[in-house]
Amino acid sequence: MRKRKDGRIGKHKNGKLRAWFRSVQARCAAIILFGGLLICAMFWTAIAPERYDLEVGSISRQTISASRDVVDEVTTEERRKAAAAAVEPTYHL
């Protein structure tokens, strides 16, 4: 038993809270919370794109590949038309 601030002897107001923190439920809650945070941290590091410290005009020491493919449809169509126009007609007899 501890002595309270008002001079009486007895349990603190937060005695139930302390008892709960020592319980099995508190341990389970702590394990679930810690496990969830650990899984989130692992996903975050796996999903986050790699960052490079580059400046304009600098040469990269490693090959950097795009994370997704983007097709420039306007330029592609122009080049298709130019390639089709450059081909000589073929005649089959």
Write the DSSP string, 62-78.
S----SS----HHHHHH
Q: Check: CB of residue 25 under 8 Å from CB of residue 32.
A: no
Question: Domain-by-domain residue ranges, the chain?
Answer: 1-50
Q: Which residue has the higher pLDDT, 80 or 51?
A: 80
Mean pLDDT, range 13-23, rounded to an integer: 80
pLDDT at 2 over 80: no
pLDDT per residue over 22-76, tens digit each?
Answer: 889 999 999 999 999 999 999 998 888 778 888 898 888 888 887 788 889 999 9
What's residue 11's pLDDT? 56
What's residue 17's pLDDT? 81
pTM (2 d.p.)? 0.44
